[in-house]
Amino acid sequence: MKFLDEAKIYIKAGNGGSGCVSFRREKNVERGGPDGGDGGNGGYVYFKSYHNLNTLIDFRYRQHFLAKTGQNGAGRKKSGSNGESLVIKVPVGTQILDENKEYLYKDFRSAGESFLIAEGGDGGRGNFRFKSSTNRAPRRFESGRTGDEKWVWLKLKLIADIGLVGLPNAGKSSLLRLLSNASPKVADYAFTTLKPQLGLLRHYDKDIIIADLPGIIEGASEGIGLGHKFLAHIERCKLIIHLCDLSCESGLLVKNYKLIRKELEKYGNITRLKKEILILNKSDLVKKDEALRKINILKKLSRSNPILISCVDNSGIIKLIEFLYETVK
């Protein structure tokens, strides 16, 4: 499935229908008086969040959303029908912002939430409404009011249990394949993953959603590389898997670990304080004594117990799955 986490769309609520100018005309009834009905109200525009959506890709192909206009009134005091309202479906985790991205209208954090973004115009009154003791045959009526219209930005921040982070080519996509039902592109070059990938880890009777987030580089917190597009998705993850390439020489391994931590901390407290699980990949390329030495170095640095795995021979994967199910409550 293609992924899109930002889109700009135009929204227009329905206009109200106009009131009618009409007079009662029946056999044997003279001067029957005004009987023009009111116009119908224009349709409203709502957003509603759904769990079974995980991308904004549909908004790439459709950018204009218009609710129906109310029908005009008719004779015999018949009111026009109200315009049909429009419900725009968005994934949980979507934020609705104004055209300048300065004001947040709504932040959808759970499924089934609705938000009114544009009100339809009121229907105009027919001439029946203007009858009075001094004006028995009014020809006055009201046009329907214009419905609200605006451009808005949709911004998606994934809501996943686990965010999978690491430098480009650390093996995140390979790990996601082993842990879940996802099929991300895997290749031996940096930035294979250019968009977040979602995978579902199903074990016993519990499901865990894992987001493989694009690799970051130094300066990502300031927008360099994939920058904020990557870091924004971490905000709503319950915890982080930090994947490192164990086959690097010790100095580079430490440098790479510190680089990711630096970018997480610079982005803000939300990402800095996330619980981190440190995973060391590519153990099949490293001798046992060398692996133990590197583990001890990172153990002191991260103040945690790194987990050793290989996405090639699958060593440590079962242990990792069990650990994740114990950790994600």
Whether residues 2 and 130 share a domain: the answer is yes
pLDDT digits (tens, 9 = 90+) for 124-147: 999 999 999 999 999 999 999 999
Q: Indicate which CATH number applies to the domain containing 193.
A: 3.40.50.300
**pTM of the entire structure?**
0.72
Q: What is the number of other CB atoms lying within 10 angstroms of the CB of residue 224?
A: 13
Q: What is the torsional sign of CA 308, 309, 310, 314?
A: positive
| Mean per-residue pLDDT, 254-281 | 84
Mean pLDDT of the chain: 87
Whether residues 139 and 237 share a domain: the answer is no
Whether residues 152 and 266 share a domain: the answer is no
Whether residues 44 and 180 share a domain: the answer is no
203 or 250, greater pLDDT: 250
CA-closest candidate to residue 233, choices 325, 153, 161? 161
191 or 259, greater pLDDT: 259
Categorize the per-residue pLDDT at 217 as very low, low, confident or very high, splitting at 50, 70 and 90.
low
- Which of 103, 136, 156 represents a domain boundary (last residue)? 156
Q: Give the CA-trace dihedral at 297, 301, 302, 307, to 10 degrees.
A: 0
Q: What is the pLDDT of residue 27?
A: 76
Q: Is 48 exposed, middle or buried (0-12, 13-18, 19+ CB in 10 A)?
A: middle
Whether residues 115 and 166 share a domain: the answer is no
CA dist 33 and 27 (Å) reads 14
- Which of 156, 180, 212 represents a domain boundary (last residue)? 156
Answer for the pair 155, 102: CB distance below 8 angstroms, yes or no: no
Q: Indicate which CATH number applies to the domain containing 52.
A: 2.70.210.12
Whether residues 119 and 228 share a domain: the answer is no
Whether residues 64 and 181 share a domain: the answer is no
Whether residues 98 and 178 share a domain: the answer is no
Q: Domain span at residue 323?
A: 162-327
Q: What is the pLDDT of residue 194?
A: 55
Whether residues 147 and 181 share a domain: the answer is no
Whether residues 33 and 47 share a domain: the answer is yes
291 or 161, greater pLDDT: 291
Whether residues 261 and 238 share a domain: the answer is yes
pLDDT digits (tens, 9 = 90+) for 292-301: 999 999 999 9
* Residue 89 pLDDT greater than 60, yes or no: yes
CA dist 165 and 182 (Å) reads 16
Bridge pairing between strands 162-165 and 239-245: parallel
What's the structural domain count of the chain? Answer: 2
- Which of 97, 126, 156 represents a domain boundary (last residue)? 156
103 or 193, greater pLDDT: 103
* Phi/psi at 284 (5° precision): -70, -15
Whether residues 100 and 220 share a domain: the answer is no
* Residue 281 pLDDT greater than 80, yes or no: yes
Categorize the per-residue pLDDT at 266 as very low, low, confident or very high, splitting at 50, 70 and 90.
confident
Q: What is the pLDDT of residue 187?
A: 40
